[in-house]
């Protein structure tokens, strides 16, 4: 045994401090409603409270935890508050957090099957489970021609889909020679901005990303898609990819996948379906008609890190033809060669996404699915939808407010009839109060408030209080007027 000085945390210290951290997290979740949901700090305030220089000598763990409480917590926006109704949820849960902790504890890097077989095989297995749980087509199963992989985000999944589409459309030439400016991709005016970024990174270029107009429900119009593809073909361009969305970010619009697929396949385009938040709803068979036609997609993704109680980050991405994806992203330098890879009997997930290294993310997903069971997951998703629908009903029946879009699931887009300034004031005051957190979008050019129910612990009383607070702020406006 060496008696060399060590600065490491001993296993006993780790055990003790680990209990402290888990206790702190449990207490945080118990008292989360006492904090303003949206952090109230000003830009630069958190940094100003931190020492200018790093410590020359290690510090006691207790001091670190005090600083988390006193210096960090004021700068936290409480995404895990049941009064968080902004954007889309990024919900977490006990089993998800503990699965993530285990992943850190094991500390494996699963770039190849051989660098930790369990990391690969559990992931393949859980993604196969999800195909069944979500009613997705069998072609996404690993036992078929396709398969699933965990990505960090929906943005990365979309980029991978676009790259595979680009390669397929150019017979794998653009990976060698680069793009020639002729490849075209299609989204709707409501598609998430990550597709624009994907077009930039993939070398398609934003000028070659066509934004197709939507109908009165903010869903892509397949007739206009067909017309645009034909025009592009006539101009000598190469249409390669279209993205349909299940639950757009602004208003939760559902693109007509089956009709889009018909157009896409007539012209040999790759159809990617982005179901970032709303894909979780497919756990409940009654919501599956919202993604009718999904069996026609070349790829599909959803984020358990949004609405399925699996803490960030965790995106599930499936392809119908894994060969196309692997051929697009495969690299094999000498230092990664190994017998398992060469045998062809294993999946090496490094070929299924952008980065090489990868965390053991399937552990947290596995924990969530096993803790809740399908029944538990369905219960909470149905409850969230029910609460959002109740809220939509209150809006519908209020003479000062109106719904701004259909509310098929857990997102309600609404506005005060007095116009943009009134809605902005209501939202700013609510968010400043710390009682709840709402965000906005623009629909048909009008500022629209969004209330999304999806945080793990949101219950009826939180939604009721949100509506009460919204009406209070609206009443103040009417009183002033």
Ligand X SMILES: Cc1ncc(COP(=O)(O)O)c(C=O)c1O
- Closest to ligand X by CB, 120 vs 245, is 245
- Closest to ligand X by CB, 87 vs 372, is 87
Q: Please name the residues in contact with 468: beta carbons below 8 A apart, sequence gap of 6 or more.
A: none
Instruction: Say whether residue 280 binds ligand X (CB under 6 A).
Output: no
Instruction: Say whether residue 252 binds ligand X (CB under 6 A).
Output: no
Beta carbon of residue 157, minimum distance to ligand X (angstroms, whole number): 8
Q: Please name the residues in contact with 144: beta carbons below 8 A apart, sequence gap of 6 or more.
A: 138
- Closest to ligand X by CB, 245 vs 341, is 245
Q: Please name the residues in contact with 82: beta carbons below 8 A apart, sequence gap of 6 or more.
A: 32, 33, 455, 456, 457, 458, 459, 462
- Of 61-69, 201-209, 243-251, 317-325, the window that binds ligand X (rule: CB under 6 A) is 243-251
Angstrom distance (rounded) from CA 398 to CA 142:
50
Instruction: Say whether residue 93 binds ligand X (CB under 6 A).
Output: no
Site residues for ligand X, window 257-276 (CB under 6 A)?
A: 274, 276
Contact at 8 Å (CB) between 139 and 214? no
- Of 34-42, 55-63, 151-159, 340-348, the window that binds ligand X (rule: CB under 6 A) is 151-159
Q: Give kind and range of the element (H or E) at residue 448.
A: strand 446-452
Binding residues for ligand X, total number by CB under 6 A: 14
Instruction: Say whether residue 155 binds ligand X (CB under 6 A).
Output: yes
Instruction: Say whether residue 437 binds ligand X (CB under 6 A).
Output: no
Contact at 8 Å (CB) between 191 and 274? yes
- Closest to ligand X by CB, 168 vs 192, is 192
Instruction: Say whether residue 238 binds ligand X (CB under 6 A).
Output: no
- Closest to ligand X by CB, 88 vs 241, is 88
Near ligand X by CB under 6 A: residue from 112, 154, 381, 463? 154
Phi/psi region, residue 419 (left: phi>0; alpha: psi -120 to 50; beta: rest), is left
Instruction: Say whether residue 455 binds ligand X (CB under 6 A).
Output: no
Instruction: Say whether residue 251 binds ligand X (CB under 6 A).
Output: no
Q: Give kind and range of the element (H or E) at residue 159.
A: helix 154-169
- Of 148-156, 166-174, 322-330, 472-480, the window that binds ligand X (rule: CB under 6 A) is 148-156
Angstrom distance (rounded) from CA 291 to CA 261:
12
- Closest to ligand X by CB, 195 vs 226, is 195
Contacts 24+ apart (CB under 8 A), 150-153: 150/123, 150/314, 150/315, 150/316, 150/317, 150/358, 150/361, 150/362, 150/365, 151/301, 151/315, 151/316, 151/317, 151/353, 152/313, 152/315, 153/194, 153/303, 153/313, 153/315
- Sheet order of strands, 401-403 included: 401-403, 411-416, 446-452, 439-443
Instruction: Say whether residue 194 binds ligand X (CB under 6 A).
Output: yes
Site residues for ligand X, window 334-393 (CB under 6 A)?
A: none
Angstrom distance (rounded) from CA 231 to CA 227:
6
Beta carbon of residue 194, minimum distance to ligand X (angstroms, whole number): 5
Instruction: Say whether residue 315 binds ligand X (CB under 6 A).
Output: yes
Near ligand X by CB under 6 A: residue from 78, 139, 166, 192? 192
Instruction: Say whether residue 291 binds ligand X (CB under 6 A).
Output: no
- Closest to ligand X by CB, 124 vs 245, is 245
Helix (H, G, I), strand (E, B) or coil at 32: helix
Instruction: Say whether residue 88 binds ligand X (CB under 6 A).
Output: yes
**Site residues for ligand X per CB under 6 A:** 88, 153-155, 192, 194, 245, 248-249, 274, 276-277, 303, 315
């Amino acid at each position: 045994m060496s008696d060399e000085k060590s600065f490491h945390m001993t296993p006993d210290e780790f055990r003790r401090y680990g209990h402290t951290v888990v206790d702190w997290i449990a207490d945080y979740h118990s008292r989360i409603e006492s904090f303003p949901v949206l952090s109230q700090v000003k830009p630069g305030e958190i940094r100003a409270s931190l020492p200018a220089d790093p410590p020359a000598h290690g510090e006691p763990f207790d001091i670190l935890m005090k600083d988390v409480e006193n210096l960090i917590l004021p700068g936290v926006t409480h995404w895990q508050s049941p009064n968080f109704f902004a954007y889309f949820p990024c919900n977490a849960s006990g089993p998800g957090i503990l699965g993530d902790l285990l992943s850190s504890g094991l500390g494996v890097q699963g770039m190849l099957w051989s660098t930790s077989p369990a990391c690969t095989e559990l992931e393949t297995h859980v993604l196969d489970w999800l195909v069944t749980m979500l009613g997705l087509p069998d072609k996404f199963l690993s036992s078929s021609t396709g398969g699933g992989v965990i990505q960090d985000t929906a943005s990365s999944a979309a980029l991978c889909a676009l790259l595979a589409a680009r390669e397929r459309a150019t017979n794998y030439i653009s990976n060698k020679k680069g793009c020639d400016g002729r490849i075209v991709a299609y989204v709707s005016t409501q598609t998430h901005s990550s597709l624009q970024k994907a077009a930039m990174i993939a070398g398609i270029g934003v000028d070659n990303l066509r934004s197709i107009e939507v109908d009165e429900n903010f869903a892509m119009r397949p007739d206009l898609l067909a017309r645009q593809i034909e025009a592009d073909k006539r101009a000598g361009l190469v249409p390669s990819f279209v993205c349909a969305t299940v639950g757009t970010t602004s208003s939760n619009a559902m693109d007509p996948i089956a009709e889009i697929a018909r157009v896409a396949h007539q012209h040999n385009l790759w159809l990617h379906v982005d179901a970032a938040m709303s894909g979780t709803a497919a756990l409940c068979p009654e919501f599956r008609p919202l993604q009718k036609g999904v069996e026609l997609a070349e790829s599909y993704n959803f984020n358990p890190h949004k609405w399925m109680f699996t803490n960030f980050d965790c995106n599930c991405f499936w392809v119908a033809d894994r060969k196309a994806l692997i051929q697009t992203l495969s690299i094999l330098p000498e230092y990664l060669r190994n017998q398992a890879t060469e045998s062809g009997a294993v999946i090496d997930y490094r070929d299924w996404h952008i980065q090489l290294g990868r965390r053991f993310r399937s552990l947290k997903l596995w924990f969530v699915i096993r803790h809740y069971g399908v029944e538990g997951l369905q219960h909470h998703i149905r409850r969230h939808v029910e609460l959002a629908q109740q809220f939509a009903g209150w809006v519908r029946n209020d003479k000062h407010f109106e719904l701004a879009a259909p509310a098929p699931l857990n997102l309600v887009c609404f506005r005060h009839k007095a116009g943009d300034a009134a809605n902005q004031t209501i939202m700013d005051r609510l968010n400043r109060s710390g009682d709840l957190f709402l965000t906005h979008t623009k629909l048909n050019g009008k500022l629209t408030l969004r209330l999304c129910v999806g945080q793990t612990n949101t219950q009826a009383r939180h939604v009721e209080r949100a509506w009460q607070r919204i009406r209070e702020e609206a009443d103040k406006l009417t009183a002033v007027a």
